[in-house]
Copies of this chain bind each other. A is one copy, B any other.
């Protein structure tokens, strides 16, 4: 881990993001709060330095983190500005006489809030409006000392504990207030803007707004980490719920042994689609991580990869919502046992609940996605070439895919090719119609842009989700195609069909409205979904076992991990139905 963090700077190894995400997932599997705290220190604070700082600054403030010589925090959000970070109010005024910046909190709404590690960390990467010689230069990032190793606060800095939260009790969130805090000129992270000793501002990007966008791009890798952390929580929930559902029995045919609860139609209908989504997210996250590694390895900055940023914003929203829905179903499907802390699901729910609103509120993330899709659309309209990276997930991708699935008959509703075509169709129609609506409102009716956009927000969020749904299904399909092991491929194909059928089933209202499905085919999709869920319920045991999470991380007694504190919750590990059926046959012979 330590070497991995150093390698980022020293050797710029090629798969840094992929490897980081692997580490993040493993840590979150053990404890979500630890994962989030590490994300704050290494990803957000560390990432601010490596992405916004000079090589010297990286040497000075990033390398010591890898040895945990000190820790840091990321101070962007303010009381008044969380989602709309552009509007932050904290000030950084340059004073040429002392060659120092004065970091200041001018009002209540400017207080830095929800800052993770605020009660323990030594340094903060603080975003503040830079003012040089009376001129406002927009938000920049500064390294501000918060407290030394003895806990003595740096002059002018106040930290207030925000205390109890729904979850993430292992992360100390606090408020930072700056009273004209003096920091050296060198503490302005200088990649996108620096001030000379005599107070001359210099930046490689002239436009204030573009400059800030470049800085925000630094957030992208941590957002992807959040997707992986949500996935870790989802997988744990599914391991626990699926295993318990294969152990616990309740109800059954008259005068016979009660059946395993996984046999109840409602039980497998609630759990199997989430399992399919977890797989889809796994493959899509890998795809995004590889793209990001590619960009970083080629030395391009993330700012230029708008399509990638949009994909990651969409993945963040979809994965964190899907995680909450999944954990809620896992909790309900495990009944009272799922409400007990010893069985882990409650803590997973409470710890990951904040994922949907932090590091970019999900509703805002969806708008990031659509802004990119609208840009793409207008580019198409202008007949400009869609650049390289987009190829993988642009509207043409589904056509490429369609031809590559010749093994499936295209006649049948519910074939993978049909499903891929359908999700792609939905995205395209929503994209086109949104563009038309916005055009009419803004260009024709001369509506103010914010109001026009706001009046389409429902459409916007539908499009963003349609986009990300399509990408997940495509990436799942590509992963199935690439799978070398025949048995695994067969199994994954079923889950991929299930994921696609579920996406269509969820939006069947829309498809029927657009006559893309007829009432009959819509019903067929439902039957197919029910059939697929039933057909994979036993395979689910293999899939959750292949998640390869060690028992010490699963922890839950109902999933077969004994715990002396809660012997009453223990259910021994379930066996695959084929095996246990044989056993019960043997028993009944005795």
Chain A residues in contact with chain B, CB under 8 A? 77, 79-84, 87, 111, 113-114, 160, 162-166, 175, 249-254, 258, 263-266, 269, 324, 328, 331-332, 335-336, 338-342, 346, 349-350, 353-354, 356-358, 361-363, 448-451, 454-458, 461, 508-509, 512-515, 519, 522-523, 530, 565-566, 568
**Chain A interface helix/strand/loop/mixed:** helix
The chain B residue with its CB closest to the CB of A358 is: B336
Q: Are B339 and A263 in contact (CB under 8 A)?
A: no
With A79-B568, A264-B454, A522-B509 known to touch, is A336 a contact of B252 (CB < 8 Å)? Answer: no
Contact yes or no, A250 B82, CB < 8 A: yes
Docked-complex contact B254 and A342, CB < 8 angstroms: no
Pick the residue among B77, B252, B363 that contacts A450 (CB under 8 A).
Answer: B252
CB A79 to nearest CB in B, in angstroms, measures 7
Nearest B residue to A336, CB-CB: B114
Interchain Cβ contacts under 8 Å between A and B, 26 examples: A81-B250, A82-B336, A84-B258, A113-B336, A114-B336, A162-B568, A163-B342, A164-B340, A165-B341, A165-B346, A166-B339, A252-B450, A253-B450, A254-B449, A254-B450, A263-B454, A265-B457, A266-B457, A266-B458, A332-B357, A335-B361, A336-B358, A339-B354, A508-B513, A509-B512, A513-B523
Q: Please tell me how many copies of the chain the complex holds.
A: 2
Cβ-closest chain B residue relative to A457:
B265
Could you say which residues of chain B place their CB within 8 Å of the CB of A357? 332, 335-336, 338-339
Q: Across the interface, which residues of B come within 8 angstroms of A566, CB to CB?
A: 162-163
Complex-state Cα separation, A175 to B569, whole angstroms: 11
A325's nearest neighbour on chain B, judged by CB, is B328
Known contacts A332-B362, A513-B519; 7 additional CB pairs below 8 A are A165-B339, A166-B340, A251-B450, A253-B449, A332-B357, A332-B361, A336-B357
- B258, A335: Cβ atoms under 8 Å? no
Which 3 A-B residue pairs are closest in the complex by CB-CB distance? A166-B346, A164-B341, A512-B512
Q: How far is the CA of A252 from the CA of B84 in the complex (A)?
A: 10
User: Which residue on B lies nearest to A354, using beta carbons?
Assistant: B339
- A360–B572 CA distance with the chains assembled, in angstroms: 26
CB pair A461–B166 under 8 Å, yes or no, is no
A44 to B495, CA, bound (A): 44
Contact A87 to B166, CB < 8 A, known contacts A332-B356, A357-B332, A357-B336: no
- C-alpha gap A457/B341 in the complex (Å): 30
Contact A166 B269 (CB under 8 A): no
Q: Which of chain B's residues have a CB closer than 8 A to the CB of A114? A: 336
A342 to B165, CA, bound (A): 8
Contact (A165, B340) CB under 8 Å given A87-B258, A258-B84: yes
Bound CA–CA A544/B215 (angstroms): 41
Q: A456 vs B361: C-alpha distance in the bound complex, in angstroms?
A: 39
Instruction: Check A113 against B339 for contact (C-beta < 8 Å).
Output: no
A335's closest neighbor in chain B, by CB? B357
Query: For A332, what are the chain B residues with a Cβ–Cβ distance below 8 Å?
Result: 356-357, 361-362
CA distance A353 to B530 in the complex (A): 27
Chain B: minimal CB distance from A460 (Å)? 8
How near does chain B come to A223, taking the closest CB pair, in angstroms?
16
Cα A515 to Cα B519 with chains together (Å): 8
**By the criterion CB–CB under 8 Å, are B166 and A568 in contact?**
no
Chain B contacts for A457, CB-based, 8 A: 264-266, 269
Please name all residues of chain B whose beta carbon is closer than 8 Å to the beta carbon of A358 when the two chains form the complex: 336
The 8 Å CB contact of A266, one of B113, B258, B363, is B363
Docked pose: A331 CA to B361 CA in angstroms: 12
A324–B357 alpha-carbon span in the complex (Å):
17
Of A341, A362, A450, the most chain B CB neighbours within 10 A belong to A450
Closest-CB distance, A390 to chain B (whole angstroms) = 27
**Pair A166/B350 contact, Cβ less than 8 Å:** yes
The residue in chain B whose Cβ has the minimal distance to the Cβ of A511 is B509
Query: Quick check: A164 and B83 within 8 Å, CB to CB?
Result: no
Question: A82-B335, A353-B331, A457-B266 in contact; A162/B340 too (CB < 8 A)?
Answer: yes
Partner of A251, one of B84, B249, B263, B515: B84
Give the chain B neighbours of A512 by CB distance below 8 A.
508-509, 512-513, 519, 522
The distance from the CB of A74 to the nearest CB of chain B, in whole angstroms, is 14
For A357, the closest partner residue in chain B by CB is B335
Query: Which B residue sits closest to A506, measured CB to CB?
Result: B509
Residues of B contacting A349 in the complex (Cβ-Cβ under 8 angstroms): 166
Chain B, Cβ-Cβ closest to A162: B340
User: CA–CA, A254 to B87, complex, Å?
Assistant: 12
- The CA-CA distance from A357 to B345 in the complex, in Å, is 15
Closest CB-CB distance, A505 to chain B, in whole Å? Answer: 8
Which B-chain residue is minimally distant from A505 (CB atoms)?
A: B509
